[in-house]
């Protein structure tokens, strides 16, 4: 709980009452490895905060290949924000890469927070902005660098994920086949 509050307080001040209120709206959930937090074709149900584990965003391209877009681990929010806020069906999956424990807000509770805490909308907007900016900074270099450089910068961006994520997910995040990634790892050693 504390980790969630600490994160939120980086984006604005809340008094004790407001924090109490927030926590009264939260629910703890567990996801087994490979479970979906939200699915393409369905409306996302939760804003989730990761207590334990790793999630990934992924989708399928027109060749039926599964593409991993992004990883999220402990201490961060994981949500298909745009689709959650407007309650429309998602085009991406959010899947547990490991067993996960999360705190979630459902849409009703999430909206009640906006209605109750003055300034919450602004805090929320800044949280979203920060997440998107970070994601952009991490994704952008993936286009222009060669595969080895991309892999090295992946390790830098997600240092404590490397031992918990299947090789194939990392490979698709980097835009290469898993065979290529395996080869790259050999050459690095």
- For binding to a copy of itself (CB under 8 A), which residues are involved? 61, 65, 67, 69, 82, 121-122, 125-126, 128-129, 132-133, 135-136, 139-140, 142-145, 172-175
User: Of the two residues 133 and 179, which places its CB atom closer to a copy of itself in the complex?
Assistant: 133
Phi, psi of 76 (to 5 degrees): -125, 155
Q: CB of 15: closest distance to a copy of itself in angstroms?
A: 21
In the chain the first and final C-alpha atoms are separated, in Å, by 40
d(CA 111, CA 183): 48
Closest CA to 171 of 74, 58, 92, 93: 58
Sheet of 93-96: strands edge to edge? Answer: 36-38, 93-96, 55-60, 66-72
Considering only 4-12, 95-103, 153-161, 163-171, which stretch makes contact with DNA by CB under 7 A?
Answer: 163-171
- Contact between 42 and DNA by CB under 7 A: the answer reads no
33 binds, among DNA, a copy of itself, none (CB under 5 to 8 A by kind): none
Closest CA to 86 of 49, 128, 54: 128
- Between β-strands 66-72 and 77-78, what pairing exists: parallel, antiparallel or unpaired? unpaired
| Residue from 146, 156, 159, 160 in contact with DNA (CB under 7 A) | 146
User: Of the two residues 91 and 179, which places its CB atom closer to DNA in the complex?
Assistant: 179
| Residue from 5, 23, 166, 188 in contact with DNA (CB under 7 A) | 166
User: Of the two residues 42 and 185, which places its CB atom closer to DNA in the complex?
Assistant: 185
- Contact between 181 and DNA by CB under 7 A: the answer reads yes
């Amino acid at each position: 709980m504390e980790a969630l509050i600490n994160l939120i307080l980086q984006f604005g001040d809340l008094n004790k009452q407001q924090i109490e209120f927030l926590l009264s709206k939260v629910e703890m959930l567990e996801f087994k490895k490979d479970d979906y937090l939200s699915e393409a074709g369905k409306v996302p149900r939760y804003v989730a905060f990761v207590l334990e584990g790793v999630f990934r965003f992924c989708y399928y391209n027109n060749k039926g290949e599964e593409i991993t877009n992004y990883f999220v681990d402990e201490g961060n929010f994981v949500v298909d924000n745009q689709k959650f806020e407007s309650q429309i069906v998602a085009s991406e999956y959010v899947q547990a890469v490991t067993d996960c424990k999360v705190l979630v807000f459902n849409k009703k509770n999430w909206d009640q927070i906006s209605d109750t805490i003055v300034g919450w909308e602004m805090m929320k907007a800044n949280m979203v902005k920060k997440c998107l900016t970070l994601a952009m900074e991490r994704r952008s270099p993936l286009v222009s660098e060669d595969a080895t450089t991309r892999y090295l910068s992946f390790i830098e961006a997600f240092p404590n994920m490397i031992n918990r994520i299947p090789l194939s997910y990392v490979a698709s995040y980097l835009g290469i086949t898993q065979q290529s990634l395996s080869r790259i790892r050999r050459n690095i050693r």
